[in-house]
């Protein structure tokens, strides 16, 4: 069995300019690599009206259980102004012990580390009791409509059993080994529009200023103390992200006013329970001010937690042994595709240091890349022991 070098594979993956939802041929490239290792593969392209089609890959080696799945994404965020980079972001380069390129950190290098770890594991354990699978999407950084969500639906229909999922997102704030993610807060965005009545500012009694209701609403929802958090989660938090009144004149009371807010909520709430609470406030204030409102919610995901179990602690111990750091079990940060996978499998997230993700000159330490490969290899050995 030929061993795959993690650095070489990371470079090869970075060379594909896979800005969401562009595939650029990367799924077929990875598919060939996995087929050589013995995986049975399926490229899954999903389409939905209003969204661009996305290619995903599901690969499995073995037919028996348990099935340990690695999940990740090959799409990346745009590089921004290429002139700000010290290199071409899609022509990876090694400088000062670091691999630089868009996706080096989030998260092509992690995928390369896992594939390399599998190749090393197979060279030592050709026959193992179980299956290894990979769920790779091209729609994690974008709308997340035609990506992992749809792959999970496909796996459910096929009655494909996954026993545990390892998501390779960059989970560590500063050093490899600091943090494992065992859950994530829910995320919901609300867009509220207040409808009043336009009129001359000198005759305000002839109209109804929607900004009056909007200001009162934003003050009240911002002051809500949803909870104090709990053992695994930070307190729920609401942030107003946009306020817009489309008015080109200074002497006109506008006919409408809009705002957008985002809530990151813990597992003491659901998106529905928060919607009910907010809608009561909107109704109360607009009724008092004789205005109207329209509200549109978009739920990115509900809060979730994988209760720590034997596999969690096994992975935690492996990371500690290799990095000399005991990783904290955390739910901080944004959300991840584990919010979709949790409906078919328990899991956790562990990958590289996230310091430079989405930044100019995104980079990964070569030492970290080697150690992550070693961690993934040890996880495979211990899981199938």
Asked if 161 contacts 65 with a C-beta cutoff of 8 angstroms, the reply is yes
Distance between CA 132 and CA 251 in Å, rounded? 67
Query: What angle do helix axes 108-124 and 6-14 make, rounded to 10 degrees?
Result: 140
Average pLDDT for 371-384: 98
The pLDDT score that the predictor gives to residue 305 is: 94
pLDDT in tens, 73-102: 999 999 999 999 999 999 999 999 999 999
CA distances from 153 to 37, 91, 157, 329 (A): 26, 35, 6, 28
Asked if 380 contacts 129 with a C-beta cutoff of 8 angstroms, the reply is no
Domain 6-184+303-383 annotated CATH 3.10.129.10: no
Confidence class for position 333, pLDDT limits 50, 70, 90: confident
Residues taking part in catalysis: 75, 140
Q: Which residues pair with 197 in a beta bridge?
A: 208
Distance between CA 117 and CA 171 in Å, rounded? 19
Q: In this structure, what token pair is assigned to residue 11?
A: 């470079």
Asked if 295 contacts 191 with a C-beta cutoff of 8 angstroms, the reply is yes
Asked if 61 contacts 324 with a C-beta cutoff of 8 angstroms, the reply is no
Burial track 183-214 (b if 16+ CB lie within 10 A, e otherwise): bbbbbbebebbbebeebeeeeeeebbbbbbbb
Helices (DSSP H) in 165-270: which residue ranges?
210-222
C-beta atoms surrounding 249 within 10 Å: 9
Residue 1 has pLDDT above 80, yes or no: no
Residue 334 has pLDDT above 90, yes or no: no
In this structure, which topology does domain 186-301 adopt according to CATH? Alpha-Beta Plaits (3.30.70)
Q: Where in the chain is the domain with CATH 3.40.630.10?
A: 6-184+303-383
All residues at 6 or more sequence positions from 54 whose CB lies less than 8 Å from its CB, including other chains: 21, 23, 45, 46, 137, 138, 139, 142, 145, 146, 147
pLDDT in tens, 198-224: 999 999 999 999 999 999 999 999 999
Q: Where in the chain is the domain with CATH 3.30.70.360?
A: 186-301
């Amino acid at each position: 069995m030929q061993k795959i070098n993690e650095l070489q594979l990371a470079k090869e993956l970075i060379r594909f300019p896979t800005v969401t939802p562009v595939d650029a041929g990367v799924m077929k490239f990875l598919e060939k690599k996995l087929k050589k290792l013995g995986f049975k593969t399926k490229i899954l392209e999903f389409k939905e009206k209003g969204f661009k089609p996305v290619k995903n890959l599901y690969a499995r080696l073995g037919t028996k259980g348990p099935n340990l799945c690695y999940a990740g994404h090959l799409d990346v965020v745009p590089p921004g102004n290429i002139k700000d980079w010290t290199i071409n972001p899609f022509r990876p380069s090694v400088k000062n012990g670091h691999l630089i390129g868009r996706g080096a950190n989030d998260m092509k290098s992690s995928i390369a580390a896992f594939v390399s770890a599998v190749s090393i594991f197979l060279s030592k354990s050709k026959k193992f009791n179980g299956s290894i699978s990979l769920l790779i999407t091209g729609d994690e950084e974008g709308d997340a409509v035609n990506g992992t969500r749809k792959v999970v639906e496909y796996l459910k229909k096929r009655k494909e059993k996954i026993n545990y999922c390892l998501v390779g997102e960059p989970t560590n704030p500063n050093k490899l080994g600091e943090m494992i993610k065992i859950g994530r807060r829910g995320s919901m965005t609300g867009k509220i529009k207040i409808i009043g009545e336009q009129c001359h500012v000198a005759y305000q009694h002839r109209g109804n200023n929607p900004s009056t209701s909007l200001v009162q609403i934003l003050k009240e929802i911002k002051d809500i103390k949803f909870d104090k958090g709990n053992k695994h989660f930070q307190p729920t938090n609401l942030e107003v992200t946009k306020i817009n009144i489309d008015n080109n004149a200074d002497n006109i009371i506008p006919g409408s006013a809009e705002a957008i807010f985002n809530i990151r909520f813990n597992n003491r709430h659901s998106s529905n329970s928060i919607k009910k609470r907010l809608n009561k406030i909107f109704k109360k204030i607009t009724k008092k001010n004789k205005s109207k409102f329209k509200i549109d919610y978009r739920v990115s995901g509900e809060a979730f937690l994988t209760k720590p179990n034997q596999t969690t602690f096994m992975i935690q111990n492996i990371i500690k042994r290799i990095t000399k750091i005991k990783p904290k079990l955390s739910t901080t940060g944004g959300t991840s595709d584990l919010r979709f996978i949790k409906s078919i499998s328990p899991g956790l997230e562990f990958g590289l240091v996230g310091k430079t993700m989405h930044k100019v000159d995104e980079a990964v330490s070569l030492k970290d890349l080697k150690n992550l490969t070693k961690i993934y290899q040890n996880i495979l050995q211990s899981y199938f022991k």
